[in-house]
Amino acid sequence: MRATTIGFIVTGLLAGLAAAPAEAGCTRKIVNKSALTALISRDGGPWVTVPPHHSQSIVFSQPGKVDVALVCGRGGPEGAVYRSSLSYSAIIDRCYYEIGNGFFEEQLGPGFALGTEDTAPLTVNTPRQGDVVIGPRVEARCPAEFRAAVQSRY
């Protein structure tokens, strides 16, 4: 094959890649470091269980919302001791939860820590943008018998 033919092939491949529509696509983690069961729903879909001390991958393909419910032991989201809804953005390969009041957002980017709202017991956009870590000490929201059972196991 001649060098010019290879050059045309490479140019054609690069042009095809550039013409392809950009799609968002990020795989992020929900890490449950607590003794509670986490229930996660993305964009109003079915609830996914993240057991204590486990993690679950979540795929973002467009902007939307993640609902988080923490339950003592087993049960559905209606018996949650903690609930939260987090809006997220998914732009090409940049996925992050939209938190805070936008203070210095233009200068420092979205999700910057200054001017954020309290998301405890969740840690949002950590260790990377789009990740959620459920804190290890949220058992106080559960009945005393649940807390006693958890302490006897750990």
For the segment 73-128, what is each residue's pLDDT rounded down to a tens digit?
A: 888 999 999 999 999 988 888 888 888 666 656 655 555 555 456 788 898 888 88
Is pLDDT at 142 greater than 50 in this prediction?
yes
Q: Quick one: what percent of the chain has pLDDT higher than 90?
A: 38
Lowest-pLDDT range of 34-48, 55-69, 136-150: 136-150
Q: What is the mean pLDDT of residues 37-41?
A: 95
Q: What is the mean pLDDT of residues 14-29?
A: 62
Is pLDDT at 48 greater than 70 in this prediction?
yes
SS3 labels along the chain: CCHHHHHHHHHHHHHHHHHCCCCCCEEEEEEECCCCEEEEEECCCCCEEECCCEEEEEEECCCEEEEEEEECCCCCHHHCCEEEEEEEEEECCEEEECCCCCCCHHHHCCCCCCCCCCCCCEEECCCCCCCEEECCCCHHHCCHHHHHHHHHHC
Higher pLDDT, 152 or 47: 47
What pLDDT score was predicted for residue 20? 44
